[in-house]
Amino acid sequence: MKFPLKIYDNYSLVQKNTLGLPSIARYYAEVNSVAELQTALVFARERQLPVIPLGGGSNVVLGDFLDALVVHVNLKGRTVLSRDPDCVRVRAEAGENWHEFVLWSLDNQACGLENLSLIPGNVGAAPIQNIGAYGVELTDYFLSLEAINLETGLVEDFDRQRCGFGYRDSVFKREKRDQYIIVSVTLDLDVTLKPNLGYGQLGDLLARRLGNKSPSAIDISQAVCDIRREKLPDPSEVGNAGSFFKNPEVSQSEMDRLKQAYPDIVAYPLGQNWKLAAGWLIDQAGLKGVREGCVGTYQKQALVLVNHGGATGRDVLSFSRQVQQRVNDKFGVQLEREPRLYMEDVDKIIR
C-alpha cells in the first residue's frame, strides 16, 4: 500500500545539521523514492517555494527560518553493477550514509575509497563539493550520477566532465547551483589496491603499525579513521561542519611574497600555483582554540569552527567573518567559506 508523502510545516532542523544550529523550515519532507521527490517538487512549485535538499546536514550553516521546502533525500540502496579484472562498478542511492558505503565497498573487495573513510554526510552530497581527504577526491573514482532537474522534474545523467569537478567544487556549486537534486552516484572502483599514502601523517602511522608489511585497504581505512578521530571534533559531541574555509590558492609571486615574510608557511604545489593550509594561517593569526560567546575555533584544528552550545547561524557567520578579517589583515589572503550558507537576507535562496 502506498502512503501519501508527509509534509510537515514549521519543522525544526536543529537535529538535522551537525553544527546544531536552531532553524525552522517552513516545510519539510523526507523522500524515500524518486516518485516521492517528484511529488515534493510539485508541492513546492504550486507554492512558488525554493527547494533545499538536505543530506546529513554536515556542510551547511542554517539561518533561523528557511522560507522553503527542505527535502531530506533518503533514497536507499547499494549495488555492485559489474566486476571485471580491473574494475568494480558500484552504485549507491543518494540517502546512503557515505562512511557506511565506503565500508560496504571494502567488504565487496572494491578499493579506492579507503582514504575517504569517516567523512560525514550522505552519498548524494558527495559530488556537490567533490569530497576529498588524504590525497583522494571523489572525482578519482567517479563515473556518473543521476539528478532530478527541479524545473522539469525529470532525471538527467551527468558524467564526470558535465560535473566540472575541482577542489571542493563542482557545477552544482556554480552554474547549476540549486537546479538539481542528486538521486544516485555510480563509481568505478579498483580490484587491486593502489595505496595512496602520500599524505605524510597517514604513511607514517601505517609504517609505525605495520613496519615493512604492505597495508590492506582496511588497514588504510582504519588509520584514516584514527587520524580523523584524533584531529577533528565529533559532531555528536561538539557542533561543527568540518573545515569552515577552503585552503586558499595563490599564485607563485604571491607565494614568494608570503614565503619571504613567513618561511614556515605550510603550502602544497598545485600546478602553477600553491594551496595554502588555511588552518596554519588561522593558527598563526593567534586564533586557534579561541572562543567568542558560543562560537570558537577547535583547539586541535583551527580550520574547524565549533558551536559550544546555543549559537545561531548568525553567530557562526559573524565569528567566521572576524576570522577572515584577521587572516586578511595579517597575510593579505582571503579565506573562502566551505559550507553552504542558507540565510535568507545574507545569501538569497534561489532555485
Binding site for ligand EPU (CB under 6 A): 133-134, 231, 242-243, 246-247, 266, 277, 279-280, 283, 288, 301-303, 338
| Cβ count near 55 (within 10 Å) | 25
- Provide, rounded to whole angstroms, the least separation between the CB of residue 343 and ligand FAD: 13
> Using CB under 6 A, which residues numbered 321 to 350 contact ligand FAD?
340
Does 56 sit near ligand FAD (CB under 6 A)?
yes
User: Which of the residues 93, 114, 249, 338 is marked catalytic?
Assistant: 338
Does 31 sit near ligand FAD (CB under 6 A)?
no
Residues in the chain: 351
| Positive or negative: CA dihedral 8, 10, 12, 18 | positive
| Positive or negative: CA dihedral 249, 251, 317, 65 | negative
- Provide, rounded to whole angstroms, the least separation between the CB of residue 349 and ligand EPU: 22
Please state the φ and ψ torsions of residue 57, each to the nearest 5 degrees: 65, 30
**Radius of gyration in angstroms for the set of CA atoms belonging to the chain, rounded to a whole number:** 21
d(CA 125, CA 148): 14
- Provide, rounded to whole angstroms, the least separation between the CB of residue 213 and ligand FAD: 27
- Provide, rounded to whole angstroms, the least separation between the CB of residue 211 and ligand FAD: 28
CB 206 within 8 A of CB 212: no
User: Which of the residues 168, 170, 249, 340 is marked catalytic?
Assistant: 168
> Toward ligand FAD, which CB reaches closer, 31 or 258?
31
> Toward ligand FAD, which CB reaches closer, 113 or 255?
113
CB 331 within 8 A of CB 258: yes
> Toward ligand FAD, which CB reaches closer, 57 or 248?
57
CB 29 within 8 A of CB 72: yes
Does 59 sit near ligand FAD (CB under 6 A)?
yes
Segment lying near ligand FAD (by CB under 6 A), choices 34-42, 58-66, 76-84, 255-263 = 58-66
> Toward ligand EPU, which CB reaches closer, 186 or 240?
240
Q: Which three cell numbers stand for residue 218?
A: 582496511
- Provide, rounded to whole angstroms, the least separation between the CB of residue 135 and ligand EPU: 7
- Provide, rounded to whole angstroms, the least separation between the CB of residue 122 and ligand FAD: 4
Total residues contacting ligand FAD (rule CB under 6 A)? 32
| Positive or negative: CA dihedral 240, 299, 335, 271 | negative
Residue 243 is a catalytic residue: yes
Residue 338 is a catalytic residue: yes
User: Which of the residues 243, 249, 337, 340 is marked catalytic?
Assistant: 243
Does 129 sit near ligand FAD (CB under 6 A)?
yes
Does 313 sit near ligand FAD (CB under 6 A)?
no
Of positions 20, 63, 112, 235, contacts ligand FAD by CB under 6 A = 235
> Using CB under 6 A, which residues numbered 85 to 114 contact ligand FAD?
94
> Toward ligand FAD, which CB reaches closer, 235 or 296?
235
d(CA 29, CA 17): 15
Residue 33 is a catalytic residue: no
Name which of ligand FAD, ligand EPU, none residue 34 binds, using a CB cut-off of 5 to 8 Å depending on partner kind. none
Residues lying near ligand FAD in the complex (CB under 6 A) are found at 18, 52-60, 73, 94, 119-122, 124-126, 128-129, 131-133, 181-182, 232, 235, 240-242, 340
Catalytic residues: 168, 243, 338
